[in-house]
Amino acid sequence: MHEMILILDFGSQYTQLIARRVREMNVYCEIHPWNKCPEITPNIKGVILSGSPFSVREESSPKPDLTNIKGKLPLLGVCFGAQFLAHNFGGEVLPSSIREYGRAHLSYVNKEHRLTKNLTDGSQVWMSHGDTIKVIPSHYSVIASTVDVDIAGYEIEGEDTFGIQFHPEVYHSFEGAILLKNFIVGICGCKQDWTPESFVDETVSRLQAQLGNDKVILGLSGGVDSSVAAVLLHKAIGANLHCIFVDNGLLRKNEFSAVLDSYKGMGLNVKGVDAASKFYAALSGLTDPELKRKAIGKVFIDVFDEESKLVKDAKWLGQGTIYPDVIESVSVNGGPSQTIKSHHNVGGLPDYMKLSVVEPLRLLFKDEVRRIGRSLEIDDKILQRHPFPGPGLGIRILGEVTAEKVRILQEVDSIFIEGLKEDGLYNDVWQAGAIFLPVQSVGVMGDERTYENAVALRAVSSTDGMTADWCHLPYEFLAKISNKIINQVKGINRVTYDISSKPPATIEWE
């Protein structure tokens, strides 16, 4: 078992950032809900307690059992985690006189301490709390302060247990990575050997042990996630992997044939299935986003069920599920985070489908998947493809999905994406696409009045999809693309550009 850092999640919006920062140091970590702590095995080198929207003073606040952790393993409490370690072991936490949220600066830091060495006085940190630690137990000692918070960091004497009131995982804590490295490498002693190459070796070995000589059905989409999952599975089980690419009628223009061609020469056994009519039938009359997602997911399952019966003795369904899919669909492993939306490739299968699920990328972020893909020497044309939602254009058409709306949106999307490539902007954008709006507007073409549809263009920058900023594309580019769309796509007379970031918006509109 690879050495790892265990992160106990109390529902903080920043918990996933902690995981990303740990992994950026080539150290593996996992997030688990505070109330579902896994067995403490020898490979767990340290534990981090996350922040939380709760107050430790609330009767209903999380109260983890740290019996097998505190004093036995290196332990770092962040924000709520630090308050919990103070409040529940003899200290006092009270409401802050002024809620501290945002930038703060260290006014004191113990530069000789193992956790805070190499931090500088005045260094900016990020605060996000309504309570503050007023009194620490007698065997605790302060190792960091800010102008407004005397106890911004502490240690428990005689233990490798520490608490910090600020968030080292966020970008605005300028030296947060130094503190985390002090804890993870210096105190926990992690070797920093979790690399793409080690992930491939360990995952292939695990898949071989898990699957044996069983046959696996895998749904390919042409995107990064399913492609990397396919190559990993192929590396593990070879010809026992049967890939299926389904045309759900909701793909980008000409994508079905283009994707099938892209897998030539990769040695994968891929079958194309035209199931567009089944998806259109299931979507008829539906306007609610969740109902559309569920309908699309159900048809995917039905199609795979039909296709799996054509592969004798198939026992597994392979999926390219990644960590953000899991986090957004269900609270991390059943934890306290709020569900935002469902994903068609996350969760269990219906009882009638006699396949078990195998998800080799389930605990990886998108940027990690790309690094794994490069180590597997997958073509950059596949690895650099923008993410595309599993439900496809079905969730980029607001309202009911029809074949005519799909045709119009495919044309709009093609002009936008090809334009990004032609102007050298494609690789500067993490994800881009067009949205068909349930809006008609008055326009003028020639001397005639028009009353046609509107579309929104969306382009964001991100690393893993958990947060995203809208891209500041050049006005000249947007003007050119808008003009092309209105002139070339019959049925569209208005183009808008989405300048919302995530949060508070999501990347997709549905």
C-alpha–C-alpha distance, residues 38 and 272, integer Å: 41
Provide the b/e sequence for 470-499 (b: ≥16 CB within 10 Å).
bbebeeeebeebbebbbeebebbbbbeebe
C-alpha–C-alpha distance, residues 374 and 478, integer Å: 32
Query: Within its chain, how far is the Cα of 15 from the centroid?
Result: 12
Four-residue CA torsion sign, 98, 140, 55, 23: positive
| H-assigned helices in 124-172 | none
What is the length of the chain?
510
Number of CB atoms found within 10 A of residue 227's CB: 27
Per residue, the 3-state secondary structure of 56-93, as one string, reads: CCCCCCCCCCCCCCECCECEEEECHHHHHHHHCCCCEE
Q: Which amino acid would we find at residue 210?
A: Q
Of 97, 82, 92, 90, the C-alpha closest to 166 is 82
Helix (H) / strand (E) element for 367: namely helix 366-375
C-alpha–C-alpha distance, residues 111 and 282, integer Å: 63
Of 404, 395, 397, 368, the C-alpha closest to 383 is 368
Active site residues: 79, 167, 169
Of 297, 292, 293, 317, the C-alpha closest to 307 is 317
For residue 148, the SS3 value is coil
Give the tokens for residue 341: 């939306």
